[in-house]
Chain A
Amino acid sequence: MTARVLPLNRVDEFVRRLLAAAEVIAPRRVDGGDVFYGPIASPGEVAWDYSTAVEPLKRFLLPQREPILRFSTNGKLEVRPEYDETERVFLGVRCCDVTGVSVLDAMFGGEIVDPYYMARRERSTFIALTCQQPDAHCFCVCGDAGPFLKTGYDQQWTALKDGMLVEVGSERGEALAAANEDLLLPAQMEHIKERHRLAREAETRFGEYHAYAAAAMRKLTTAEVADEVWQQAADRCIECGGCTFLCPTCSCFTVTDRWEAPGRGVRERHWDACLYSCYSREASGHNPRPEGADRMRGRFFHKLSHQWAQRNGRHACVGCGRCVVGCMAWSHMPAVSEAIRRGAMP
């Protein structure tokens, strides 16, 4: 699977062809200047020059609220599932977010497949855009998730001077390139060299945030983290759930039923957050994680321990830095990782 170049003046045509075949989710600049991933209607809407999007790709594969069953109790009880079978191309999305999807793949795949997630996932194509301008809060280099990827994408694009370098990472990505071969040129050695130079330079542009994941992983794995760390982190945490909702890999959900009309209802699943005090509370009132410190420990153990990394194929922090931006209490991944390493919150 050889690399190609999509000349600058053909990018819009490529996007138009994507739009003709699928819903295209791309970075869009909204009023106020923030960038969100969302559906585009024309090539001009893509914000190619962004650093990070406010939210990750999670909601397009695991919506904040989604119907999973519809039921009718009029007469004979009938229950039927409902799937989203929309074809989607994720265009120009960041490497950290594409890596986040690979963690979701492990969680929702495996021996028991989640059919709602998989219905979307099987119809999704990921065109990653390598990152040359990390934000101040970014630390994907520490999360093995960017700024350039080695695997995990269908295509990976890098903005060069005269066009996009198109790297292919899957059969799906190759098929997409082959179908648009008339727009693409074979990549030359200078393009490849330029890509590697940009990758090296990008790695020098990271700011002050680092998650010392290796030390945190080791201590979590062997249950060596001082209780005070969890207590201090929990004392700050206001349990808003923001870090979990903004996280590309946090995927806890709860399930509720709702009537839509007499005798006709829907079962929905919703995002949930393991930091909420009611998260694991049972009807009897028994709560296996009654204290904030218990829940903080549980969250970071799931994110970073070797035990869960083994189950999910990698640890569950991609270094997107959204928890740094979202946390109002300085209880985010880099802060807590550092606390685990030092034995106290920074």
Chain B
Amino acid sequence: MRNPYLPLVATIQSVKEETYDTTTFRLKIDDPKERAAFTYRPGQFVEVSVFGAGEAPFCLSSSGHGRDTLDITVRKLGRVTSALHALGEGGQVGVRGPLGNWFPFEEVAGKHILFIGGGLGLAPLRPQIQDVYRERDRFASITVLYGARTPQDLIYRDELTEWQQAEGMKCLLTVDVATDGWEGNVGVVGTLLSQVKLDVPQTVAFVCGPPIMIRFVVQDLVSLGFGEDAIISTLERHMRCGIGKCNHCMMGDKYVCLDGPVFSYRQMKAMTELEGE
């Protein structure tokens, strides 16, 4: 019997500073056999240990397609994330996973795909964007709408530039507060919806970001006529175990870690109702 609490030892292969407080760590599992067996899909998450500081859940921000490493994009905020930032390239961590469910892919083939990300919420969307773009012939269109607080808060800048120039993908950016000579859109990410033409009945929206952003964007989408099953999001909770035992991520009748973290708006609405909101 495999112990689901026992992490695999992994080494930080590279460190990429995304913003003043956010970093992408590329991890490589040390054991070659375990590394080969570690396959994951967009939307899934891992529990990462910095031994002595603790363990915390992070969504996988890389596509597992054709690679033997995994990325996590981390804001320096608490004990574990600070300890992780203190570790440099070559530092050793523990990895448990992949955990949770994943974004639908085959199920949304043929549809227009709309990604809406806020701040660090682009991290879980990134692998799905990459995978959908790789097989773009199988989708009607791909649109990415991304917003952050200020231009300094935009993550994956190189990739955003690529996406803006890519053929077969539309990528629009916005910031809440323009600084540093920002000449692009200003306003919450929902305002970008008016700049794109949508075939609503044929579109599936993937929405990730802070809770308040998700709430407003979902309202916007619903008023545009999106069905409750055509809006997909991922939820974040401080999952201590990631395997449905510690109960910290319980939401209504679901465990975010086991039944999610990917949920449709229909599911989220039912869970929220049971939580009394």
Which chain B positions have C-beta within 8 A of A274? 247, 250
Closest chain B residue, CB of each to CB of A296: B276
Chain B residues whose C-beta falls within 8 Å of the C-beta of A182 in the assembled complex: none
Q: Which of A110, A118, A280 contacts B238, CB < 8 Å? A: A280
Decide: B51 and A265 in contact? CB cutoff 8 A.
yes
User: What are the interface flags for B120-135 relative to A under an 8 Å C-beta threshold, 1 for contact and 0 otherwise?
Assistant: 0000000000000000
Q: Which residues of A contact B79 (CB under 8 A)?
A: 283
The 4 tightest CB contacts between A and B, nearest first, are A283-B78, A307-B253, A77-B92, A283-B77
Query: Out of A257, A279, A288, which one reaches B52, CB within 8 Å?
Result: A257
Complex: how many Å from CA A73 to CA B75? 25
Binds B, one of A26-34, A142-150, A298-306: A298-306
Q: A294: which B residues are within 8 A, CB to CB?
A: 275-276
Instruction: State whether B54 touches A81 (Cβ < 8 A).
Output: no
The chain A residues found within 8 Å of chain B, CB to CB, are 68-69, 71, 73, 77-79, 81, 107-108, 110, 112-116, 118, 223, 227, 230, 251-257, 259, 265, 267, 269, 272, 274, 279-284, 286, 288-289, 293-294, 297-298, 301-302, 305, 307-308, 311
B238–A257 CB distance below 8 A:
no
**What is the interface of chain B, defined by CB distance below 8 A to chain A?**
1, 3-7, 9, 49, 51-56, 75, 77-81, 92, 94, 210-211, 236-238, 240-241, 243-253, 258, 273-276
Cβ distance B191 to chain A, nearest Cβ, rounded Å: 23
Provide the residues of chain A in CB contact with B249, threshold 8 Å.
Answer: 280
B244 and A265 form a contact (CB under 8 A): no
Given contacts A69-B6, A288-B237, contact A112 B250 (CB under 8 A): no
Given A112-B243, A255-B246, A288 and B276 contact (CB-CB distance below 8 Å): no
- Check A257–B51 contact: CB distance below 8 A: yes
The interface residues of chain A, by DSSP majority, are classed as mixed
Residues of B within 8 A of A288 (CB): 237, 251, 275
- Contact yes or no, B274 A301, CB < 8 A: yes
Q: Are B51 and A73 in contact (CB under 8 A)?
A: yes
Number of CB contacts from chain A to chain B under 8 A: 123
A68 x B52 contact (CB < 8 A):
no
Shortest distance in angstroms between B92's beta carbon and chain A's nearest beta carbon? 4
The answer to whether A71 touches B51 (Cβ under 8 A) is yes
Question: A120 to nearest B CB, angstroms?
Answer: 14
Q: Are B78 and A81 in contact (CB under 8 A)?
A: no
Give 14 A-B contacts (CB < 8 Å), ordered by A residue.
A77-B9, A115-B1, A223-B276, A230-B276, A252-B248, A253-B246, A265-B51, A267-B51, A280-B237, A283-B77, A301-B252, A305-B253, A307-B253, A307-B274
Bound: A230/B274 CA distance, A: 13
Q: Is the CB of B51 within 8 A of A289?
A: no
CB pair A293–B276 under 8 Å, yes or no, is yes
Nearest-Cβ distance from residue B148 to partner chain A, whole angstroms: 15
Do B51 and A79 touch (CB < 8 A)? Answer: yes
Q: How far is the CA of A288 from the CA of B236 in the complex (A)?
A: 10
- Best-surrounded residue of B9, B237, B250 (most CB of chain A within 10 A): B250
B52 with A259: CB separation less than 8 A:
yes
Per the bound structure, the CA–CA distance linking A251 and B79 in Å amounts to 25
A282:B51 contact, CB within 8 angstroms: no
Q: How far is the CA of A308 from the CA of B274 in the complex (A)?
A: 12
A301 CA to B252 CA, complexed, in Å:
8
Taking A253-B246, A301-B274, A302-B250 as known contacts, 7 extra A-B pairs with beta carbons closer than 8 A to each other, sorted by chain A number, are A73-B92, A77-B51, A115-B4, A227-B276, A283-B78, A288-B275, A289-B275
User: Do residues A115 and B5 form an inter-chain contact, with CB atoms below 8 A?
Assistant: yes
Q: A321 → chain B, closest Cβ, in Å? A: 23
Is A79 a contact of B253 with CB atoms below 8 Å? Answer: no
Q: A223-B273, A282-B237, A283-B77 are in contact. Are A69 and B5 (CB under 8 A)?
A: yes
Please, which residues of chain B bring their CB within 8 A of the CB of A302? 247, 250
Quote the shortest CB–CB distance from A153 to chain B (angstroms): 25
Chain A residues near B1 (CB, 8 Å)? Answer: 113, 115, 118
B56: chain A residues at CB < 8 Å are 283
- Inter-chain CA distance A230–B276, complex, in Å, is 10
Query: Bound state CA distance, A289 and B211, in angstroms?
Result: 13
Interface centre among B52, B79, B81 (most CB of A within 10 A): B52
Whether B245 contacts A114 by the Cβ 8 Å rule is yes
Q: How far, in angstroms, from A308 to B6 measured CA to CA in the complex?
A: 27
Which residues from B are CB-within-8-Å of A257?
49, 51-55
Evaluate contact between A281 and B241: CB separation under 8 angstroms.
no
- Is the CB–CB distance between B247 and A282 below 8 Å? no
Residues of B within 8 A of A78 (CB): 9
Closest beta carbon of chain A to B183's beta carbon, Å: 30
Q: When chains A and B are docked, how far (Å) is the Cα of A284 from the Cα of B4?
A: 27
- Complex alpha-carbon distance, A297 and B4, angstroms: 30
Given contacts A283-B81, A286-B211, contact A79 B6 (CB under 8 A): yes
Across the interface, name the chain A residue whose C-beta is closest to B50: A257
In Å, the complex CA distance between A280 and B237 comes to: 7
Residue ID in chain A nearest B254 by CB atoms: A307
A73 to B50 alpha-carbon distance, docked (Å): 10
A79-B7, A288-B251, A302-B247 known; A73+B52 contact, CB < 8 A: yes
Q: How far is the CA of A282 from the CA of B6 in the complex (A)?
A: 23
Can you name the residue of chain A whose Cβ is closest to the Cβ of B83?
A257
Is the CB–CB distance between A68 and B275 below 8 Å? no
For the complex formed, measure the closest distance between the CB of B39 and the CB atoms of chain A, giving whole angstroms: 18
Q: Decide: B54 and A256 in contact? CB cutoff 8 A.
A: yes
How far does the alpha carbon of A255 sit from the alpha carbon of B4 in the complex, in Å? 14
> Which residues of B sit under 8 angstroms from A252, Cβ to Cβ?
246-248
